[in-house]
Amino acid sequence: MRLGLREKSPVEGFLDFGERVTHLIPNDMYYAHLSIYRYAMEFAKDKTVIDAGCGTGYGSAYMAHSGAGFVHGIEVSPGAVVLAAQYFSAPNLKFCEMDVQNISGFEDHSVDFIVSSNVLEHVPNPWLVLHSFARLLNPDGVFMLAVPPITDEDLRARNLAIPYHLNIWSPQQWHYAVSCFFEEVETYRHWFKDGKSHPDFGSDPNNAAFSEMDFVFEQVQPHGEKPMTPTITLIITARKPINVFSNSEIEERLKFVDESFTRTPVTSTVILLWRHFYGIYLRGRIEGYAKLLRRGYKKLRQLNKH
């Protein structure tokens, strides 16, 4: 699919320590993320859409060129917004620098569909964000959330290894939080189609074995002994936003239903460096330090091509 690419213009720092996925490196990881937006088209067709935390814009562009009515891609990183605007354009697509924790410029109940893919694990207070989404959506609107699944100690360690992941939450915790703001909440498993080998998320773009068509989304229950395994991403869809309630009522609902927790944001260089070194230590224990070094070298080579 042609996404309306403009001429390339290099922008420094758009990967943010590997947390950014971009069309510039179209490997299996990229296509797994893009498949989330392909699934989102079930709700975005001819609709007014907010892509909350659009990153480098590839998902917003995919929806705009796949039949969404109008897509507002909002992103807190100025560099990512610049990159998105330089590469993607369409009459029904607009990028804006904005924090998902402080969305402005939209009337209440004016949006048909909100998608937030791999964003809310980064924000200090996802409760306020969910509250804002419920306020912005019209009564028939849909919210779709994609976050990392934390279903065992290995996945917990992998998320702790990422310095910017603040909400180390289980599927049950995410389901509870979304249910505080929406009456109908469903949970889905994000996996690859039968007959395909497991995606290599560190693969070279030239050797990508997947496209966005090669992934499936199957409804599952958020509770039970192993409710979300195996899955690449936790997907939640929510309908029937609950009437806006006061801040005091939000405070009453704030709780953890299991061992999930929220880390404090990175506020200093010292904390950032400590989390990075701790993350390297955890990843080395999980994957092996030699493999980690090879992956880092491969990533640097990929970036040097762009």
Domain boundaries, the chain: 28-264
Give domain 28-264's CATH architecture: 3-Layer(aba) Sandwich (3.40)
pLDDT for the residue 208:
78
Q: What is the pLDDT of residue 221?
A: 83
Rg (CA), the chain: 19
The top-scoring range by mean pLDDT among 124-138, 224-238, 248-262 is 124-138
Least confident of 146-155, 157-166, 248-257: 248-257
Query: Among candidates 142, 91, 79, which has minimal Cα distance to 114?
Result: 142
Higher pLDDT: 197 or 78? It is 78
CB atoms within 10 A of CB 246: 8
Range picked from 45-54, 78-87, 210-219, 235-244 for highest mean pLDDT:
45-54
Q: Which residue has the tokens 């949970």?
A: 187
Reduced to 3 states (helix: H, G, I; strand: E, B; else coil), residue 238 is strand
User: What are the pLDDT digits (tens) for 174-230?
Assistant: 999 999 999 999 999 999 988 677 777 766 677 778 889 999 999 998 776 555 668
Q: Which strand (E) or helix (H) includes residue 82?
A: helix 78-87
Query: Using CA atoms, how far apart are residues 134 and 35, in angstroms rounded to an integer?
Result: 25
Give Cα 147 distance to the centre of its chain.
Answer: 6
CA angle 41, 99, 184 (to 5 degrees): 45
Q: pTM of the full predicted structure?
A: 0.83
Q: Is 147 helix (H, G, I), strand (E, B) or coil?
A: strand
In the DSSP assignment, the letter for residue 206 is: G
pLDDT, greater one: 97 or 255: 97
CA distances (Å), origin 62, targets 1, 31, 33, 177: 8, 12, 11, 28
